[in-house]
Amino acid sequence: MSEELTPRQAIEKLLGSMSQLQASDLHLKVGSPPYYRVQGVLRAAKIPSIPDSAYVEAMLHDLIPEERRKDFDDAGAIDFAVTGVSGDRFRMNMYRAMGHTHASVRRVQEQPPTFEQLHLPSIYQDVLMKTMDGLILVSGATGTGKSTTLASMIECINENRSVHIITIEDPVEFVFKPKKAIISQREIGIDVADHHDALRYIVRQDPDCILIGELRDQETMLAAIQAAETGHLVLGSIHVSDVHQTFSRILEFFPRTEHAFIRSSLAVSLRAIMCQRLLPGIDEGARFPATEVILNSSVVKDKIIRERDEELTDIMAHSQEEGMHTFTQSLCEMIEAEKIHYDTAMEYTTNRDALSSAVKGIKSV
């Protein structure tokens, strides 16, 4: 790195450049120059390589919350978030790899975007506005915008309902300003030790809406279901690609002897699963979400209880009047609207034959 800049000055300059370049991510790796991700593509910064781990640690030392510094020594990785001078918020992950200290930084917009700005279908807002309790899950792989979608949901509730919202986040990304709602944002490692402690007493804190940033294990999943069953609106994300995998992942958290109980609970508490994948658009820099949505209709409830998950895709495909749809249908609509290229859709779909047939059907009309 430049000898003219101290490590603290260097990170401030890099974060400022992220905002100027509209970069989504920044990677700091020993032996390489910093890399920005701009419009989905990694680009090396035109500055010298990072010399060693000590430089990375010095860059981030003053930014790490004091309560979290020991966590890095113990676990070899740490998540935290900071607000830059530009007003942008940055989610940071510092981690060890091959004996070196690296870091990945995600830029988060100060104001949560609207559903329209995210190009999400109207069913997202429709479901949220009609749902006062129960469980809504947002699914997708890393980098598909799950956290941003959940933030948009919270902001929509904040603008429209006089309720108490409690979030459990690791780390806090968007900082919400109370509008109609009052909001309590709890950050793991700073406001509360872990998810277990955060969830143990959450229903005693008089929430109307609960956001659990990531449903990562049996404990968080069970807490979400139980809170949803007791009259709370619960929003959460789960790290899988589609509706079918979402059910599979939930069940994987529990022993086989408890699956019937979990299915019964989901049949009662689940309101919707919304899955998304981000695709590059035809216009340079544009990105659009392909989505898959299932709503917990009476037919879906029956399939969940009877372990007929393989039939859910067909139900989504033939219930468009309710807002349900598959990834194939979503991709088709985006191709028809000239938002994405056909070849791009084929690259991201998990069912090429179905997408090819659907596109041929459009062309033949």
128 and 186 in a single domain? The answer is yes
One domain, residues 102 and 229: no
- Residue 66 inside a domain? The answer is yes
Q: Are residues 158 and 207 in the same domain?
A: yes
Residue 148 has pLDDT above 60, yes or no: yes
**Do 192 and 328 lie in a common domain?**
yes
Residue pair 103/56 in contact (Cβ under 8 Å)? The answer is yes
Same-domain pairing of 41 and 160:
no
196 and 308 fall within a common domain = yes
Domain with residue 73: its CATH number is 3.30.450.90
Q: Is 116 exposed, middle or buried (0-12, 13-18, 19+ CB in 10 A)?
A: exposed
Co-location of 171 and 240 in the same domain: yes
The residue-averaged pLDDT of 102-127 equals: 93
The CATH number of the domain holding residue 259 is 3.40.50.300
Q: Are residues 323 and 289 in the same domain?
A: yes
Average pLDDT for residues 322-334, to the nearest whole number? 95
Do residues 256 and 232 make contact, with C-beta atoms less than 8 angstroms apart?
no
Query: What's the pLDDT at 83?
Result: 85
Q: Is residue 166 part of a domain?
A: yes
DSSP state of 228: H
Its sign, for the CA torsion 186, 192, 194, 197, is negative
SS3 122: coil
Question: Between the CA of residue 342 and those of 292, 317, 360, 361, what are the distances in Å?
Answer: 18, 20, 11, 14
116 occurs within a structural domain: no
Same structural domain for residues 248 and 359? yes
In a domain, 3, yes or no: no
Q: What is the pLDDT, as a whole number, of residue 66?
A: 86
**What's the whole-number mean pLDDT along residues 272-282?**
96
pLDDT band, very low/low/confident/very high, at 363 (cuts 50, 70, 90): low
Within-domain flag for 5: no
Asked, for residue 257, whether it belongs to a domain, the answer is yes
Hey, is 135 helix, strand or coil? Answer: strand
* pLDDT single digits (tens) 153-209: 999 999 999 999 999 998 888 889 999 999 999 998 889 988 999 998 898 999 999
312 and 196 in a common domain? yes
Determine the distance from the C-alpha atom of residue 153 to the mean position of all C-alpha atoms in its chain, rounded to a whole number: 12
In a shared domain, residues 224 and 355: yes
| Per-residue pLDDT tens digits for 63-85 | 998 888 888 888 899 999 888 87
Among 49, 82, 108, where does a domain finish?
108
CB distance 155 to 289 below 8 Å: no
Q: Do 29 and 99 sit in the same domain of this protein? A: yes
Range of 151's domain?
A: 123-364
- Decide: helix, strand or coil at residue 264: helix
Q: Does 284 reside within a domain?
A: yes
**What span, in angstroms and rounded, lies between the C-alpha atoms of 9 and 169?**
28
How many structural domains compose the chain?
Answer: 2
